[in-house]
Amino acid sequence: MEYTLVGVKRGEFTNQNGDNVKFSHLFLVGEFEEGTEGFAGMEALKVSFDFDAVGDLLGLTYPQQVDLQFNAKGKCTKLILVNADNGRK
Protein backbone atom coordinates (compact mmCIF):
# COMPACT_ATOMS: atom_id res chain seq x y z
CA MET A 1 0.00 0.00 0.00
CA GLU A 2 1.24 3.46 -0.82
CA TYR A 3 1.64 6.09 1.91
CA THR A 4 3.42 9.35 2.61
CA LEU A 5 6.19 8.81 5.16
CA VAL A 6 6.30 11.95 7.29
CA GLY A 7 8.74 10.83 9.99
CA VAL A 8 10.63 8.04 11.71
CA LYS A 9 11.58 7.40 15.34
CA ARG A 10 14.07 5.00 16.80
CA GLY A 11 15.05 4.53 20.41
CA GLU A 12 16.03 2.16 23.14
CA PHE A 13 15.55 1.78 26.86
CA THR A 14 16.27 -0.64 29.70
CA ASN A 15 13.21 -2.51 30.97
CA GLN A 16 12.48 -3.58 34.57
CA ASN A 17 14.42 -6.83 34.05
CA GLY A 18 17.53 -4.91 32.99
CA ASP A 19 17.19 -5.93 29.33
CA ASN A 20 17.95 -3.42 26.60
CA VAL A 21 14.84 -2.95 24.42
CA LYS A 22 15.12 -1.36 20.96
CA PHE A 23 12.12 0.04 19.10
CA SER A 24 11.37 1.99 15.94
CA HIS A 25 8.31 3.49 14.30
CA LEU A 26 7.28 4.89 10.94
CA PHE A 27 4.81 7.79 10.90
CA LEU A 28 2.62 7.81 7.80
CA VAL A 29 -0.30 9.55 6.17
CA GLY A 30 -2.50 7.92 3.56
CA GLU A 31 -5.89 7.79 1.93
CA PHE A 32 -8.58 5.57 3.40
CA GLU A 33 -9.24 2.48 1.30
CA GLU A 34 -11.84 3.02 -1.39
CA GLY A 35 -15.29 2.01 -0.27
CA THR A 36 -14.56 2.58 3.42
CA GLU A 37 -17.75 3.98 4.92
CA GLY A 38 -17.88 6.29 7.90
CA PHE A 39 -14.47 7.89 7.25
CA ALA A 40 -13.48 11.21 5.71
CA GLY A 41 -10.14 12.84 4.95
CA MET A 42 -6.87 10.99 5.44
CA GLU A 43 -5.67 8.44 7.97
CA ALA A 44 -2.53 8.81 10.09
CA LEU A 45 -0.59 5.68 11.05
CA LYS A 46 2.17 4.75 13.46
CA VAL A 47 3.74 1.46 12.35
CA SER A 48 6.46 -0.57 14.08
CA PHE A 49 9.39 -1.36 11.80
CA ASP A 50 12.85 -2.99 11.89
CA PHE A 51 15.19 -1.05 14.22
CA ASP A 52 18.26 -1.23 11.96
CA ALA A 53 16.32 -0.38 8.79
CA VAL A 54 14.90 2.78 10.38
CA GLY A 55 18.47 3.93 10.97
CA ASP A 56 18.93 4.04 7.18
CA LEU A 57 15.86 6.28 6.90
CA LEU A 58 17.06 8.90 9.40
CA GLY A 59 19.12 10.68 6.71
CA LEU A 60 16.18 11.32 4.36
CA THR A 61 14.26 14.55 3.99
CA TYR A 62 10.52 14.31 4.55
CA PRO A 63 7.89 13.72 3.33
CA GLN A 64 8.69 10.67 1.17
CA GLN A 65 6.32 8.54 -0.90
CA VAL A 66 6.66 4.88 0.10
CA ASP A 67 5.12 1.53 -0.68
CA LEU A 68 4.70 -0.70 2.38
CA GLN A 69 4.31 -4.46 2.31
CA PHE A 70 2.68 -6.35 5.16
CA ASN A 71 2.70 -10.06 5.98
CA ALA A 72 -0.40 -12.13 6.73
CA LYS A 73 -0.20 -11.17 10.43
CA GLY A 74 -0.25 -7.43 9.60
CA LYS A 75 3.43 -6.80 10.34
CA CYS A 76 5.18 -4.33 8.05
CA THR A 77 7.97 -6.33 6.42
CA LYS A 78 9.21 -4.08 3.63
CA LEU A 79 9.41 -0.38 2.76
CA ILE A 80 10.14 0.76 -0.79
CA LEU A 81 10.89 4.41 -1.57
CA VAL A 82 8.66 5.31 -4.52
CA ASN A 83 10.45 8.41 -5.78
CA ALA A 84 13.84 7.99 -7.44
CA ASP A 85 15.35 11.02 -5.68
CA ASN A 86 15.67 9.84 -2.09
CA GLY A 87 16.29 13.37 -0.81
CA ARG A 88 19.42 12.58 1.17
CA LYS A 89 20.71 15.49 3.21
| pLDDT tens for the chain, residues 1 to 89 | 899 999 999 999 999 999 999 999 999 999 887 777 888 888 999 999 988 888 889 989 999 999 999 999 888 989 999 975 554 44
Domain boundaries, the chain: 2-32+41-81
Specify the fold of 2-32+41-81. OB fold (Dihydrolipoamide Acetyltransferase, E2P) (2.40.50)
Buried b (16+ CB within 10 A) or exposed e, 48-74: ebbeeebeebeebeeebebebeeeeee
Give the CA distances from residue 66 to residues 2, 12, 14, 33, 57, in Å, rounded to whole numbers and listed in that order: 6, 25, 32, 16, 12
Measured distance CA(12)–CA(81) in Å, rounded? 25
What pLDDT is stored for residue 6 in this prediction? Answer: 96
What pLDDT is stored for residue 89 in this prediction? Answer: 40
Average pLDDT of the residues of the chain: 88
Name the pTM for this structure.
Answer: 0.81
